[in-house]
Copies of this chain bind each other. A is one copy, B any other.
Amino acid sequence: MPIFTDNASASIGAWGENQFLRHIRDWLGDTAPAAPSGMGDDCSVTPLEGCNLLTTDSLLYGRHFDQHLPAEWAGMKLMNRNISDIAAMGGLPRFALLSGCFPAQTDQRWMEAFVAGLAKAARNHGIQILGGDLAQTDKEWMATVTLIGNAESPLLRSGGSAGDSIWVTGALGGSILGRHARFEPRIEEGRLLAHSGRVKAAMDLSDGLAKDLPALIGHGLCAVIDPAAIPIHSDALRLSKESGRPPVEHAACDGEDYELLFTVDKSVSEEDWQSAWSKSLKTPLHRIGRIETLAGQAPLIDAKTRQPFSWSDGYQHFR
């Protein structure tokens, strides 16, 4: 189903703002509480006791998805991108606001499926959608979610130090083949990391290992990575056949993996950590390297050659 329609009576432009809002509330169903906690007043009135995490993320047609993506997946992607940021902090998502800037020619049924996807992802994680804002654009379509959550012991990006091991959940690369919109945020995994007391730095992989890993490594430190240890997704292998680029380059640079990247304190052995993880979770986990103090080195180097990778600066240099 295309996102835009030439049939004015099937477009959201056929609705007034109030009618559109009523439809959105209907589509959100049980994820939208009644006013004043839900939409209907100047603000949502909802006690935020215990909440300490805030994040916001947008989804733009033509940038983050296109006509090939089913509307429901687009909705799930927007909510799950935000949830992934909460997962990266070791938190639980609680409350969301939705802001939409849509052109009048947006298809009513497309919009319904989009909101249904958003609600589905929210329902999966017990999130309440408390309100939002609508505005009309000329041609471009975008939606923004603000998400509030809580973490007893938030996992920060900073905090890794020399000797700590570097780990990644799942497998990486080729997410453009579908996983960029069909992923399950690593909430349970983040919770385990936060409660372990052994994880000193964590983030979610949105731009790809090559760009994201340096953000996790402090000044005067570098990430020494064993390229053979990077878990390569079968999608990266498929894409590699089309692109002619090595699979590991796809794994490191494609982005939108929404896996967790984190460091474990050097006092913990690889075996102990793997076994503690496996007791609670079936999610694949790989140790890909460690942090070292290496003056004058690049922030990301190959464990074997001690040199930066050809892909160390991220995907864009290869375009």
Contacts and interface: CB of A to CB of B under 8 A. Distances in A.
Interface residues of A, number: 56
B157 A95 contact: no
B41 A89 contact: yes
A276 interface: no
B43 A132 contact: no
A45 B135 contact: no
B154 A45 contact: yes
A48 interface: yes
A251 interface: no
Interface in A42-83: 42-58, 60, 62-64
A101 interface: yes
A49 B35 CA distance: 21
A242 to B, nearest CB: 26
A52 B42 contact: no
Contact of A36 (B60, B135, B156): B156
Given A60-B137, A63-B136, A146-B97, A156 B203 contact: no
A156 B41 contact: yes
B133 A60 contact: no
Contact of A55 (B52, B131, B135): B131
A149 B48 CA distance: 10
Contact of A142 (B35, B53, B137): B137
Given A45-B52, A99-B146, 14 more contacts: A35-B156, A42-B89, A43-B86, A43-B149, A45-B89, A46-B54, A48-B52, A57-B133, A58-B133, A58-B135, A99-B99, A137-B140, A137-B142, A138-B140
Interface of A: 35-36, 40-58, 60, 62-64, 85-86, 88-89, 91, 95, 97, 99, 101, 130-133, 135-140, 142, 144, 146, 148-149, 151, 154, 156-158, 203-204
